């Protein structure tokens, strides 16, 4: 199947700093990627839809100024958590579809963010 690579897998940062998470489609081009957040023992919650060459679409309740999304190429989307706080500590996962019309999403390995 298609491969989505996410980096870093784990990051610890100090409160108030910013953290960038990368999501790459390795063997296909993705005009659209998705960012999810998962708190412990809870399910994935969609944060935003990342669109190549245009602004991301954010879900209700997600602060777009805090979670900056950039999708500058067909194989890379980045999520930057700005001015991180301990409550932002979570598991962040990206996903993409390998072709138009596909219904199976491929997920990155996830990034465990801990803000101290």
**Contacting positions for another protein (CB under 8 A):** 1, 6, 32, 34, 36, 41-46, 49, 91, 93, 97, 103-110, 112
CB of 82 to another protein, least distance (A): 24
Of residues 79 and 93, the one with the C-beta less far from another protein: 93
Strand residues in the chain grouped as ranges (E): 4-7, 10-13, 19-25, 32-38, 45-51, 57-58, 67-73, 76-81, 90-96, 106-107, 111-115
CB of 6 to another protein, least distance (A): 8
Residues comprising the chain, all counted? 116
CB of 16 to another protein, least distance (A): 26
Of residues 50 and 75, the one with the C-beta less far from another protein: 50
Tell the residue number behind the tokens 């489609």, with chain if given: 25
- Estimate to the nearest angstrom the gap between the alpha carbon of 30 and the chain centroid: 13
């Amino acid at each position: 199947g298609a491969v989505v690579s996410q980096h870093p897998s784990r990051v610890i940062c100090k409160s108030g700093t910013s953290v960038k998470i990368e999501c790459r489609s390795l063997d296909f081009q993705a005009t659209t990627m998705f960012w999810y957040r998962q708190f412990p023992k809870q399910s994935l919650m969609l944060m935003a839809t990342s669109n190549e060459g245009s602004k991301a679409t954010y879900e209700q309740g997600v602060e777009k100024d805090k979670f900056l999304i950039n999708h500058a190429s067909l194989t890379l989307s980045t999520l930057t958590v700005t001015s991180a706080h301990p409550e932002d500590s979570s598991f962040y996962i990206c996903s993409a579809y390998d072709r138009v019309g596909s219904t199976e999403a491929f997920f990155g390995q996830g990034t465990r963010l801990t803000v101290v």
